[in-house]
Amino acid sequence: MVSGLFIGILFGGLLQSGQFCFVSGFRNILYQRNTRFLTALLIAVTIQSVGFFALESAGLLHIPEGNLPITATLAGGFIFGAGMVLAGCCGSGAWFRSGEGLTGTWIALFSFVVTMAAAQKGSLKLKGAFHFNTDWIENGPVWNLSEPDVIKNNLLKNGIRKDTPVVVYSENQMAALRVLWALKWAGVEDIRFLNGGLNVWMDAELPTETTLNIPVPVADFGAEIPVNPQATIAMPAEAIQAQKSGLKLISNRTWDEYTGKISGYDYIPRKGEPAGAIWGFGGKNANDMSDYYDPDGTLRNPEEIFALWKTQGIEPTDQVAFYCGTGWRASVSWFMTQLAGWENSRIYDGGWNAWQMDPALPVLNDIQSQKPAALNDYGEIIKKPGQSCKS
């Protein structure tokens, strides 16, 4: 508290001496062609960015992430801008001008503090849940699993040991299952999956919250990561070698991706599939696995999927490795095999993304002429993601 008070006084002094105010600053840029404020603003943003990410890298700060609500941001920005004009100052200006004795800014300052305090909420989530960023387990440009030490440090920062019970969920279920697979690879022993995710939870009118929960870090994972390296095939060379021993590469990409009509991603230039790939059903695009979902958004009975796979020559006793573009869609198929106890099931993590980076690697030429039917109507009858089936 004492250090915060000291820093606050110092920061207030800097604001007052520099007359750092967005209203007057932008007015000077527009009407006086004075860019002094713009220079100061860019310096402040640079220092803040470097400082925040340095603190996060050191494990001293957690920066929550989520989707940008564009409409709310634009509306809020307009309202805030109108308020600045009416008050004659911005948030920073209100602080030091109230100290200078400008009593009119006290009302603006009070309103600013109240509304800021009321807005300190995170995204809607299950009561007591913590946010887990998928960037903590994977990295570009291939988007394979990160190095073991990187994942270990991120798990520890989020309070996860090998014996920590974990329940994963998401709105798009691929994200949760991608994390589940990574945690299994790392060695977390008790991982559960909330079938249907946030949408189904809300449909059941179970408790949610927007409070930003911060996990308590732990010091030791309790095992050497990865405990289960057999859960993954990382790169094409390993996949090709395994194919020579009977491995079946199962594609969970869309039919148009599988048949070479599209690449499916704006950052993957080449079209095609690895040589020997078998289509294992998928969805309508790179963010969709609708062939695997029931109409309510939960996973289909695995036996239904296994029956579809059987028509493609995929059997429970086979050595199989599921893949897609970068691994998210493949996690859905892999998870179903884990529910049924398949012993030789993995994810080829590099997917088509890693394969297409090397033009010398063999590609699929003998492609099925007709798309197999998924015998499913998910998304055709009821809700789209984020809506309630009761609406």
Would you name the residues annotated as active-site residues? 324
Structure tokens at 310: 């059987």
DSSP assignment of 5-56 equals: HHHHHHHHHHHHHHT--HHHHHHIIIII---HHHHHHHHHHHHHHHHHHHHH
Structure tokens at 224: 């050497």
Three-class DSSP category at 273: coil
Kind plus residue range of the DSSP H or E element containing 145: strand 144-145
Question: What is residue 265's DSSP assignment?
Answer: S
Q: Give 377's Cβ-side CA count (13 Å radius).
A: 3
Q: Are 209 and 183 in contact (CB under 8 A)?
A: no
Question: What is residue 206's DSSP assignment?
Answer: -
C-alpha closest to that of 94 among 76, 73, 115, 75: 115
φ, ψ dihedrals at 267, nearest 5°: -105, 5
How many beta carbons lie within 10 A of that of residue 345, not counting itself? 22
Q: Three-state SS string across 139-188, please?
A: ECCCCEECCHHHHHHHHHHCCCCCCCCEEECCCCHHHHHHHHHHHHHHCC
SS3 percent helix, strand, coil of the chain, rounded to 5, is 45, 10, 45
Bridge partners (DSSP) listed for residue 279: 251
Kind plus residue range of the DSSP H or E element containing 289: none
List of residues 6+ apart from 86 with CB closer than 8 A: none
Q: Are 333 and 249 in contact (CB under 8 A)?
A: no
